Structure 1
């Protein structure tokens, strides 16, 4: 058998595996990824070693087909802006070694840039699409292990946004768990590192860092390097965030837990 045929066979085994360990990636642009995207909206196509593809890491495409995952993970999901490196592949590669004996790791990208928490309400298009994609991801077998959520920059424009954020986030968590029939679904939320108005940034971060909901943990993005726009994480920062998310998952919800 040729090497190419062997690789193809391995890929098909992973894609058709009934034992996928599935992670939903959702929120806004820092989850979908702008790492390596310049001022002219061109991605530099630089993929760090930590984000390289692996036949055991899959993504659910916009057409609801499993395929080998590679950067940009959200290329056909967050389509109104140019996507670059996000935290998904660094997370997947960091977790993969621990989950490899169980089955392939599947990513379900759902994040869309510039979206406020109110746009993720139960009757909104973004939410419905996320639930549709999550349900589709397990039809051929597998288990949804966690939702990774990075969103909030668009909710730093007013005091009212901050005041209502916690209630809307808690409602989102409950809705997802109810609609996926996963009452204890782990949620790993990222505390934002940037926003639209500095006056409200720290207040929203406080809300995110101090939420007390079962099986919800928070990873802090503060201090991670921002690009020229002071809003989006650099490629290097996205890799670091991916590792933080992986550590949070493995320490709180991993196979040994």
Structure 2
């Protein structure tokens, strides 16, 4: 069945045997935005306990089926979600259940409600030259390629950018392992794990090979092997993989969650085995936390592992206090890289409950001094080659070393007072780190950015500011660039401390000049003015003084066209006019700044809420303000 160029709106399409869809170039199959238009033909429960199975295109118990062509399948999931009070109908984009001889080739798959491309209990599957775009949709469970209890599967030349795991192999059927699966020459980017086996693992895994893949901008593990539902994982090879921007390159877990996923099936009674794994020829840089995490459980070690020809460029920066961290066991917990915490007792490799592990030609490069050991090995038997080659000695006092090239490292000054530093401390423990976003700490070291990036103002603890949300947008807009944040803001500081000759101005200029040895100063974010709303003289002269300060800043940094974005004060200040009687005067001055100087942008604060004090933005407001700063900065940069 061929779809010529055009747009075709549809609910569930069920494919029978000997039927292949061909979506021609410039043809788009659009998923309905109405939940009632989707069928759940073969329901099941996913690893999080959610009922699943609705799909836009589905084949069940069919053979000789598939979809091909250079067209697009668009699930329109944001619109579908908007039309549901409770977002319970989350259709897969393509789903193949108990099928034989399946081919998916050349298509672009985007905006799924759940998993993008799912194969379940199918065999003789071929996936080639498929592009998937399911990242940053505000959804969950947006896996890219999802292979479940299948055999004889080949995935080649695919480009996946997904909101959940990019290339994931599961086994939700007891007695039906995922086996004889190979993936080669794929590009993977994701908000979760790039290459993953598990978490659903009751059926087991056998003879799986993944090779010659490129992983970038991944917010969890590059390679995640999780066997936690009682079956075995064996005969796994991952090789010739490059990574740029991962939190942890390798995360391995044998656990005892022991969950079943089909009605009538009983969980397995005890942990299985995770053994016979080879990981070789891996190069990883822009790592957020640690090189490898390998964890079994007491009495059930991870066994027979080979790590060969591994190069890890590690962030470093750990302290001797960090090295004393003790991890709990969490035998039944859902596995993720941070299941035991985000502070690591080693900078390179942590292995616990392991037996028969060989490290051959594993090289670690530290980008900053680190007082922790290269490895922490606990209940580790027959481990060889753990005397890793380290290119920088742990604990050596030195300035931070910038990953990447100077001309691709973009530095932005964060100047102003408390709303630039941030004051809302909610969600600090659950924030995700982006290895492409760094911040300069008080000791002059570039660290992976994590709020609060500003220092303490007297006795006041800073919170989440707009800098990191700003950087996330900027990094996404300029593929390959690393963003560096130069925090200079000080709570309660009036403009007089920021004009030339003032202590904060001189300190900011000095820090910027020092930082420019590592990268390129690309712009300034300014958010200040609250401290100048109490006196008429300060408020009435605000625009003139700020204009002069920006001119001086550009001159002193040797950048006459340096882009500067000013952020507006919160509208909630108007509720307390007695305390801030000249807020409207300062706000109007800020609003007029783009007309005072060229290459000055404006980030509005309309609609953003405070954290309950009529002064500081809450966490949600800060995130949106950061995005508005980014949009204004990109406009100034002509992007």
TM-score between both structures, scaled by the size of structure 1: 0.87
Bigger Cα displacement from structure 2, 201-210 vs 104-113: 201-210
Question: CA RMSD, aligned part only?
Answer: 2.3
Give the Cα–Cα distance (whole angstroms) in 1 for the partners of residues 552 and 311 of structure 2: 40
Cα gap change, 1:53/1:14 in structure 2, threshold over 3 Å: closer, same or farther? farther
Cα gap change, 1:153/1:7 in structure 2, threshold over 3 Å: closer, same or farther? farther
1:33 is aligned to 2:418: no
Cα gap change, 1:164/1:236 in structure 2, threshold over 3 Å: closer, same or farther? same
Give the Cα–Cα distance (whole angstroms) in 1 for the partners of residues 629 and 612 of structure 2: 24
Q: Are the equivalent residues in 1 in contact too, given 2:456–2:462 (CA < 8 A)?
A: no
Which whole-Å deviations, capped at 9, do the CAs of 1:179-238 have from their partners, x for residues lacking one?
100011111001211377443111211111112211111111133101121110100100
Which residue number in structure 2 is paired with residue 159 of structure 1?
Answer: 536
Of the three residues 399, 418, 428, the one matched with 1:45 is 428
1:72 is aligned to 2:452: yes
Cα gap change, 1:47/1:175 in structure 2, threshold over 3 Å: closer, same or farther? farther
1:202 is aligned to 2:584: yes
1:248 is aligned to 2:632: yes
Of the three residues 556, 565, 587, the one matched with 1:179 is 556
Q: Are the equivalent residues in 1 in contact too, given 2:600–2:636 (CA < 8 A)?
A: no
Q: Which runs of 5+ in 1 are unaligned?
A: 37-42
Which residue number in structure 2 is paired with residue 62 of structure 1?
Answer: 442
Which residue number in structure 1 is paired with residue 513 of structure 2?
Answer: 135
Q: Are the equivalent residues in 2 in contact too, given 1:15–1:67 (CA < 8 A)?
A: no
Give the Cα–Cα distance (whole angstroms) in 2 for the partners of residues 57 and 7 of structure 1: 22
Alignment: residue pair count = 243
Q: Are the equivalent residues in 2 in contact too, given 1:57–1:68 (CA < 8 A)?
A: yes
Give the Cα–Cα distance (whole angstroms) in 1 for the partners of residues 522 and 443 of structure 2: 22
Q: Are the equivalent residues in 2 in contact too, given 1:27–1:110 (CA < 8 A)?
A: yes
Give the Cα–Cα distance (whole angstroms) in 1 for the partners of residues 477 and 427 of structure 2: 31
Of the three residues 514, 517, 521, the one matched with 1:144 is 521
Q: CA deviation at 1:91?
A: 0.7
Relative to its length, the structure with more strand (as a share) is 2
Cα gap change, 1:157/1:84 in structure 2, threshold over 3 Å: closer, same or farther? same
Equivalent position SS for 1:133: helix
Which residue number in structure 2 is paired with residue 225 of structure 1?
Answer: 609
Cα gap change, 1:66/1:192 in structure 2, threshold over 3 Å: closer, same or farther? same
Equivalent position SS for 1:236: helix
Give the Cα–Cα distance (whole angstroms) in 1 for the partners of residues 443 and 544 of structure 2: 33
Q: Are the equivalent residues in 2 in contact too, given 1:99–1:105 (CA < 8 A)?
A: no
Q: CA deviation at 1:10?
A: 6.0
Q: Are the equivalent residues in 2 in contact too, given 1:20–1:106 (CA < 8 A)?
A: yes
Which residue number in structure 2 is paired with residue 40 of structure 1?
Answer: none
Which whole-Å deviations, capped at 9, do the CAs of 1:76-114 have from their partners, x for residues lacking one?
36454111111111111111112232x311000000000
Give the Cα–Cα distance (whole angstroms) in 2 for the partners of residues 218 and 130 of structure 1: 21
Pick 1 or 2: higher relative contact order, CA cutoff 8 A, min separation 6.
1
Relative to its length, the structure with more helix (as a share) is 1
Of the three residues 411, 414, 417, the one matched with 1:22 is 411
Equivalent position SS for 2:492: coil
1:93 is aligned to 2:481: no
Q: Which runs of 5+ in 2 are unaligned?
A: 1-238, 240-248, 251-289, 292-309, 316-366, 368-400
Q: Are the equivalent residues in 2 in contact too, given 1:31–1:149 (CA < 8 A)?
A: yes
Give the Cα–Cα distance (whole angstroms) in 2 for the partners of residues 99 and 154 of structure 1: 35
Equivalent position SS for 1:249: helix
Q: CA deviation at 1:121?
A: 2.1
Of the three residues 113, 129, 144, the one matched with 2:491 is 113
